Amino acid sequence: MKVFLKILLLFALFEFALLNINANSKPVDITPSILKSSNYASIVINSRTGKVLFSKNADQKRYPASLTKMMTLYLTFDALKNKNLYPLKKLKVSKYASEQPKSNIDLKAGNKITVRKAIHAIIVKSANDAAVVLGESVAGNRKKFINLMNKTAKKLGMNDTSFQNAHGLHHEKQYTTARDMAKLAIALKKDFPKYYHLFSMTSFKYRGKEIHGHNRVLQRYEWIDGLKTGYINASGFNLATSAKKPEGNLVAIVMGGQTARIRDDHMVNLLDNAYARLSIRVKVKSKKSSKTQLLNSKKDVFQYASTESQKITNTTDKLCWDVLEIH
């Protein structure tokens, strides 16, 4: 009996201690642990408004790896837009371009590749040889192209970025930040809508072969519409992503992943958390005026701003004809 009473007393004291701890503890942080890793540099931006929705180590200098090719493509698209290049123009492969290590499409010195196929090779395969071919063709030589890359970076407000080559293979003086890469991603989408859709490609044909890419997140997240992966030993696994949903268009950057899968998981978590915080702003027609409303992304009921107006349900059915704009 004494033993039983002692056990009962100990249990009561334990319960009291737990209650005391809970009463004085701070609110629980429910942010997914995957978003707290100190190894990552990441940022999520509303690409229409420029508002930063999440950032961690966003201004920390990192090696861009193949995210560098986003600038190579930006300058290629600019050359196409200004008719300095055209998609079917055949470009000669230099000896230097043919010597680039993987990832590549095994271009041989003296051979030719069209601008279009070189673009496809960079987006899908992250081909280093194709990146050099485009860089040499856009600017005339590698040195001029690097100067053009850095001049354009400054023009886009990428003030913490230094480019040293067209492909992103390691160079100690080549660096960027997650914030700067987000600026570049937004500029690609804004300045070149004619070509931006190419970033959603997952395969292309070259010399009779179907070449597949390794941007797995394009298949994992239905709202992602493109951009670029990157990896070198010094950088870890990098990813630039653009996503489009009714709630808004987002650009997200992740740099420094331990593996491609972990990096992709981190990206999906970032996007899910960002969209969970967004609302849809809808401008609705009215006989007297247009009223701007907020519609929570998780609800199908909202209230007009004016108190005399009624609630409207089933927004997908009843508002699709009179939504003027979504911000």
| CA 323 centroid distance within chain | 28
Q: What is the 3-state secondary structure (H, E, C) of the chain?
A: CHHHHHHHHHHHHHHHHHHHHHHHCCCCCCCCHHHCCCCCEEEEEECCCCCEEEEECCCCCECCHHHHHHHHHHHHHHHHHCCCCCCCCEEECCHHHHCCCCCCCCCCCCCEEEHHHHHHHHHHHCCHHHHHHHHHHHHCCHHHHHHHHHHHHHHCCCCCCECCCCCCCCCCCCEECHHHHHHHHHHHHHHCHHHHHHHHCCEEEECCEEEECCCCHHHHCCCEEECCEEEECCCEEEEEEEEEECCEEEEEEEEEECCHHHHHHHHHHHHHHHHHCCEEEEEECCCCCCEEEEEECCCCCECCCCCCCCCECCHHHHHCCCEEEEC
Phi, psi of 245 (to 5 degrees): -135, 165
Active-site position among 69, 117, 183, 189: 69
* 69 counts as catalytic: yes
Q: Which of 167, 70, 75 is nearest to 128 (CA)?
A: 167
Angle, vertex CA 148, rays to CA 144 and CA 151, nearest 5: 135
Angle, vertex CA 140, rays to CA 136 and CA 145, nearest 5: 65
> Is there a binding annotation on residue 244?
no
Active-site position among 42, 47, 66, 137: 66
Q: HSE on the CB side for 23, CA within 13 Å?
A: 6
* 126 counts as catalytic: yes
Active-site position among 42, 94, 126, 235: 126
Q: Which positions are annotated as active-site residues?
A: 66, 69, 126
Binding site for substrate, residues? 228
Binding annotation = 228
